[in-house]
Chain A
Amino acid sequence: MELRRYNVLRLLILRLTPHSSNTSPQQVPQPIIVQHGLWRVVFLDDAVTRMSYAVMVLRKIFGFDEAKATHHMMEAHEHGRTIVWVGLRENAEAYVFSLQQWHLSATLEADETS
């Protein structure tokens, strides 16, 4: 349980550091990817949340510029979902936690292409 609590604290620390989206595999040590695979952070549409709020949160959490955040928001609006980040599971968990802390719906899914 303590280890898990540590992991959540780690999530909280990670959320303070905006990252670029779609981190390229070259940025992550190859053996870790081979061992654990890549995970997607999928942002889901909901019919309640204000669009400008979603754009602001995507910018804040992922460091997107306005155009990129708006693109993702519109993709979620039109298709129900958009992949906003791909990378290691622990980092993906941190991003999903941050999105949920801002009350945006998001989920993790394995990147089958990795």
Chain B
Amino acid sequence: MKRVEVRLSIAAVAPLLDLIKAVADELRVHVAVPVALVGADVDFAEVWREELLKSQREDCDRLFSLFDQEFFSDGVVAFDRDNAEAVLRACAALRLRFRGTHLEKITDEELEALEASSNMDRFAETEKKAFACFIFLDELQKIILKYLDPLSADGDEEIDR
């Protein structure tokens, strides 16, 4: 099975991991996307929520398993068919959580501008770090999406979202 190794900057990524871990811990008890079940009873909605949380926890655990001895010694993280989708989902959940908590005071327009310029001079240190995590998780998603489907067109940059 094909395995892709990506070398990351330890100096850039390691300082982000504590905050990402803290947000991942929040996802152990909060679903990233609100449960939207029309007309379902309470028991069903609760089982639904529990299953989503279980899935989130497993995905975040897979993400953190990337940052092992190999990462801290030479900066390498490895993807294969076994972990790529789980890590992709974990990144999606974490980005949504960051947006809804640490970055909630920033408007969509400001966030878009930041993604283009990364100029965060007027923001607090905590927001700067959260934004760095937000961007790092996005970059990780880009790498995995390319790995899963090398031929797919990445139209994200072409459309102003």
A interface list, Cβ under 8 A from B:
1, 4-5, 7-8, 11-12, 46-53, 55-56, 66, 70, 74, 77, 93, 96-97, 100-110
Produce 1/0 per residue, B74-111, CB < 8 A to A. 00000000000000110011011001000000001001
Most chain A CB atoms below 10 A, which of B41, B92, B93: B92
Residues of B within 8 A of A106 (CB): 36
| Chain B residue with the shortest CB-CB distance to A5 | B47
* Alpha-carbon distance between A55 and B151 when the two chains are bound, in angstroms: 13
In the assembled complex, the CB of A110 is this many whole angstroms from the nearest CB of chain B, namely 8
A sample of 22 inter-chain contacts (CB < 8 A) reads A1-B43, A4-B41, A4-B44, A5-B47, A8-B47, A8-B51, A46-B96, A47-B108, A47-B161, A48-B96, A50-B142, A51-B156, A51-B161, A52-B154, A53-B92, A56-B148, A93-B37, A93-B40, A96-B36, A97-B48, A108-B39, A109-B38
A101-B89 in contact given A1-B43, A51-B155 (Cβ < 8 Å): yes
A73 to B89: give the CA distance in the assembly, Å.
Answer: 18
Size of B's binding interface in residues, CB under 8 A: 39
CB-CB under 8 A from B89, the residues of chain A are 101-103
B19 interface residue per 8 A CB criterion: no
Given contacts A50-B142, A96-B37, 10 further A-B contacts (CB under 8 A): A7-B47, A8-B47, A49-B96, A50-B145, A52-B154, A55-B152, A56-B145, A77-B159, A108-B38, A109-B38
Which A residues are in CB contact (< 8 Å) with B148?
Answer: 56
Q: B149 to A56, Cβ gap below 8 A?
A: yes
B11 at the A interface (CB under 8 A): no
Residues A103 and B32 in contact in the complex (CB < 8 Å), given A70-B155, A97-B48: yes
Summarize A's interface: helix, strand, loop or mixed. Answer: helix
Bound CA span A101–B48, Å? 10
Nearest 7 CB-CB pairings of A with B: A103-B92, A107-B36, A4-B44, A51-B156, A47-B108, A48-B99, A103-B32
Chain B's nearest CB lies how many Å from the CB of A111?
Answer: 12
Chain A residues with CB under 8 A of B52: 97, 100-101
User: Which residues of B, 31-65, contact A by the 8 Å Cβ criterion?
Assistant: 31-33, 35-41, 43-44, 47-48, 51-52, 55
Given the known inter-chain contacts A4-B43, A77-B159, A103-B92, please indicate yes or no for A108 contacting B37, CB distance below 8 A. Answer: yes
For A12, give its contact among B44, B51, B141, B145 (CB under 8 Å): B51
**Shortest Cβ distance from B42 into A: residue:** A4
A107 cross-chain contacts in B, Cβ below 8 A: 36, 38
A30→B52 CA distance, assembly (Å): 32
